[in-house]
Structure formats: C-alpha cells, structure tokens
C-alpha cells in the first residue's frame, strides 16, 4: 500500500526537530503559506483548511497590542466512537505532535500551548509529559528556544470523559475550569479564545502533519489516518493517500481491512464517528477523499471506518447511536436534549413493531429540527446516522408499520 508522506514514520527519525529548526529561520507569512500550499484540512472532523485558520489568527494577532497573550490548543479529546488515531500519534509520535504545536506557537507569537487529552487516556498523558520533559532537556521547549529569544511551553490538561468537550469552545471552557459547554460563535476563538485571548485550536493529527509540511513534503495534506474497526478482518490505524483508494479498497484490501470476518457479507459502514453518515455496499466504489465522500452524502469526519456485517440490525445500531447522544448531550439546548430522547423512543417502538405512520413522520421532523436548530455540532449531527441509514434501509426501518 502506498504511503504518500509517511506520517507514521517513527519519531526517532524526527527527534532532532529539523522542521522547527527550519521554521525559526522563516517568517510567519512564509510558514502559513507552506501550510496553505500543503492543503492540510483540519483532521478533527470539520475539515477546515489549517492554513486559512492560521492566517486568520495571524491577522488577529497582528491587530492586537503586542503584549496580548495568545494560545495554541491541541484538541486531543478524541471522543468520537471508533476513532483512535490521535491515541496512536500521542503514543508513538509524541515528538512530531510537540514539534507541530511549537511551530504554531512560533508562527503566531504564543508562549503557551495546551494539549487537552481525554480523561480516559491516563497513560498517554504520562507519555506526553515525559516527551515534553525530554524536549525541554533538548532545548526545543522552554526559555530561549534555539537561542532565538523564543519562549514556549506545553501543558497537559485532562478532560473528564465528556464527548461535547471535543467541541472546540466547550474544550476551552473546560480548560478554564468551567462547565464544558459550547460557547456562542462568533466571536471566533481566534479572537476570543482561551481566557478570552486569541487562540488557535487544531486536532492532534493536524499538528502532527505540520513538521512534514515545513520539511517540504508537498503532499502532506494528502495523507490521512483512518481507524478501521467492527467486522472487518483487520482493525487498527492505517495511513492512506486521500483520493487514491475507494471504500472497497479500504474495507477489502488485505493490507487494510482485509474483508469481512467470518466470510459474511458487508451490510453497512459508518464513517467519521457516530456523528457521521452510514453508507451501504452500493457506495463501495466511492473514492475516499473529502470531496468524493461529501458528494456521496458521506464524510471523512474523524477518520473512523466502522464496518458492520449482515448480522447487525439497523434499528439496534441506530438505537445505540441515539443512546450515545442522549448520554453525551450537555443539555444546554432543547432540540438536542429532548430530540435525542424522542428519537430513541420511536426507534424502540419501531424495533418492537409498535410504531405508527405518525411516529415515522415525527421521527423525520425530529431529525430535521435537531439538525437545523441545535446549538452546536453535537445536536446538529446527532441524526446523521439515522437520516443516512433511512435512505439505504427504508424497508427494514419502516417494515414494522
Ligand atoms: C460534539 C463535538 C465533538 C468534537 N470532538 C472532537 C475531538 O474529539 N477531537 C477533535 O480534534 N475535534 C473535535 N471536534 C471538532 C472541533 O470542534 C474542532 O473543529 C477541531 O478541534 C478543530 O481542529 P482541526 O481544524 O485541526 O480539525 C468536535 C466537534 C463537536 C461538535
Ligand atoms: S446541541 Fe445543545 S444540548 Fe447538544 S451538546 Fe450542543 S449545546 Fe449541548
């Protein structure tokens, strides 16, 4: 399997911080230009171009008084079920991540960076702390980095296991010690972020790509870590070139998913986490790229590829998705707090063959209201699995009526 940029190369090849050494010889505009050219799209799920985000933050920083504190925040909450690529990076490539965050700090004139790590990743938090201490010893973090008068440090913040804290503004509230609920936007976090100061928030994988970009890898934006799980033979984190493989390659290639375990048939796949869309066998020839998946009503999202075989009931699966969102809804807004409960009730009625046509109509309206009227991305995407599955499995879903 071809690997475009080899993001997964062991850290030992990178531990001399060659990209940081190069970055400090460049000016901010040139660094940002490189990130834009590499077309790195944010790997946390929303796929916002990293270069554009950095450029916007640089503009805010420029217009602020010079002594304004600025912050770099790495989103390592990784709460999306079926997603474990950030865990892989933090366990195996912590120096690449530290280097990427430090380059962002240098570019945007920040003195402090935070990695917000999900609470369940206790061992990884220790691993990161040890890597930060080593980096200090090597002189690439702390005071007067590389003798250039550039001070930068990275702190670890532990989450407490709430999925909504992966939403970037809720993450900042949680980092400040407040309740982890989303903020109203605008203002953007680049303007009013952590402690109300200009803040850049990027995902772990996004930052880990930055050293590759600065080291001159033209295709850094074209490599993606995916997480295969469920009923495929091979499970784990794989690096793939975006735009070159189909979903069929990903699920069936012996070097990737290896096909369906137990020689069963594929029933569906769920891409991008619980907030992503469900696809079926008819869509296996879709190319795995941001644009192609979007065209097909699917998405890269968090990089999760959950494969389900023919034994799985779609209603049971959707019920578990609804239960997840009920558990994780922060309760701030009605469409999400109440909507997920009502969705679950109707799904349970359908599974018990006790639903009516009216219930189906209500289900449709609930999905639409949650998507359009919820306050944050959690509620806005909570019905994605339901609406996409409904298209593919109409007979199974409506069969009980
Ligand atoms: C409910 C919810 C949960 C999220 N969880 C995560 C997460 O665990 N990790 C992450 O990087 N982004 C997560 N995001 C996306 C972030 O809000 C944000 O887009 C991301 O951190 C930006 O980084 P990127 O541009 O590098 O992707 C979540 C968004 C929502 C709405
Ligand atoms: S959509 Fe509303 S209730 Fe749901 S997590 Fe976001 S703010 Fe909280």
**pLDDT single digits (tens) 261-316:** 998 999 999 999 999 999 999 999 999 999 999 999 999 999 999 999 999 999 99
82, two tokens: 């079926």
pTM above 0.75, yes or no: yes
Q: Is 224 helix (H, G, I), strand (E, B) or coil?
A: strand
Phi-psi region of 200 (alpha: psi -120 to 50; beta: other; left: phi over 0): beta
Return all residues near 62 (Cβ < 8 A) that are at least 6 apart: none
Atom 6 of ligand 2, residue of closest alpha carbon: 376
| Beta pairing, strands 142-145 & 236-241 | unpaired
Asked if residue 369 has its Cβ within 6 Å of ligand 2, the reply is no
**C-alpha dihedral, 175 to 181 to 182 to 184, nearest 10°:** -110
Using pLDDT thresholds of 50, 70 and 90, give the confidence band for residue 221. confident
Q: Please name which ligand lies nearest the alpha carbon of 337.
A: 2
| Beta pairing, strands 71-76 & 199-203 | parallel
Using pLDDT thresholds of 50, 70 and 90, give the confidence band for residue 4. very low
* Span 23-69, pLDDT tens digits: 999 999 999 999 999 999 999 999 999 999 999 999 999 999 999 99
Residue 286 has φ and ψ, to the nearest 5°, of -70, 135
Nearest of 69, 284, 292, 108 to residue 194 by alpha carbon:
69
Q: Is the pLDDT of residue 13 over 60?
A: no
Asked if residue 182 has its Cβ within 6 Å of ligand 2, the reply is yes
56, two tokens: 């916007």
Cβ–Cβ contacts within 10 Å for residue 5, how many? 20
Poorest-pLDDT segment among 216-230, 240-254, 304-318, 321-335: 216-230
Rounded-to-integer distance, Cα 49 and Cα 206, Å:
10
- The pLDDT of residue 217 is 81
Q: Report how far ligand 1's centroid is from the alpha carbon of 74 (Å).
A: 10
Rounded-to-integer distance, Cα 188 and Cα 112, Å:
19
Q: Is 389 helix (H, G, I), strand (E, B) or coil?
A: helix
**With pLDDT > 90 as the criterion, what percentage of the chain qualifies?**
93
Q: How many helices (H) and strands (E) does the chain have?
A: 16, 10
Rounded-to-integer distance, Cα 90 and Cα 148, Å:
28
Nearest of 367, 385, 274, 394 to residue 324 by alpha carbon:
274
Atom 4 of ligand 1, residue of closest alpha carbon: 166
Q: Please name which ligand lies nearest the alpha carbon of 326.
A: 2
Q: Mapped to the 3 state alphabet, what secondary structure does 49-82 carry? A: EHHHHHHHHHHHHHHCCCCCCCEEEEEECCCCCC
Alpha-helix runs per DSSP H in 247-313: 247-252, 290-295
CB 53 within 8 A of CB 60: no
Asked if residue 164 has its Cβ within 6 Å of ligand 2, the reply is yes
């Amino acid at each position: 399997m071809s690997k475009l940029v080899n993001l997964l190369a062991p850290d030992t090849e990178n531990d001399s911080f060659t990209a940081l050494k190069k970055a400090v010889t460049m000016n901010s505009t040139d660094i940002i230009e490189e990130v834009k050219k590499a077309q790195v799209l944010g790997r946390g799920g929303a796929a916002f171009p990293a270069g554009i985000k950095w450029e916007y933050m640089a503009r805010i920083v420029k217009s602020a008084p010079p002594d304004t504190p600025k912050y770099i925040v790495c989103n390592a909450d990784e709460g999306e079920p079926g997603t474990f690529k950030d865990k892989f990076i933090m366990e195996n490539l912590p120096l690449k991540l530290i280097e990427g965050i430090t380059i962002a700090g240098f570019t945007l004139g920040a003195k402090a960076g935070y990695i917000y790590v999900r609470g369940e990743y206790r061992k990884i938090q220790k691993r990161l702390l040890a890597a930060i201490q080593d980096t200090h010893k090597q002189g690439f973090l702390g005071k007067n980095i590389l003798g250039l008068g550039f001070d930068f440090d990275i702190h670890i913040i532990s989450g407490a296991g709430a999925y909504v804290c992966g939403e970037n503004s809720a993450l900042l509230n949680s980092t400040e010690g407040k309740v982890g609920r989303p903020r109203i936007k605008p203002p953007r976090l680049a303007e009013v972020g952590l402690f109300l100061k200009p803040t850049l928030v990027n995902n772990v994988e996004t930052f880990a790509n930055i050293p590759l970009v600065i080291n001159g890898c033209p295709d850094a934006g074209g490599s993606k870590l995916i997480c295969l799980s469920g009923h495929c033979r091979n499970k784990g984190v794989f690096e793939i070139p975006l735009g070159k493989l189909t979903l069929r390659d990903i699920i069936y290639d012996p070097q990737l998913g290896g096909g369906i375990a137990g020689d069963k048939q594929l029933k569906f796949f769920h891409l991008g986490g619980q907030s992503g869309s469900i696809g079926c066998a008819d869509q296996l020839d879709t190319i795995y790229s941001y644009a192609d998946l979007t065209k097909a009503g699917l998405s890269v999202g968090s990089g999760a590829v959950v494969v389900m075989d023919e034994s799985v009931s779609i209603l049971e699966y959707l019920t578990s998705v609804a239960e997840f969102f009920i558990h994780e809804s922060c309760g701030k807004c009605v469409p999400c707090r109440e909507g997920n409960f009502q969705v679950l009730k109707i799904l349970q009625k359908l599974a018990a063959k006790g639903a009516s046509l009216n219930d189906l109509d209500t289900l449709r309206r609930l999905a639409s209201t949650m998507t359009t009227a919820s306050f944050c991305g959690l509620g806005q995407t909570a019905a994605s699995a339901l609406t996409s599955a409904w298209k593919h499995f109409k007979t199974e879903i409506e069969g009980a009526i």
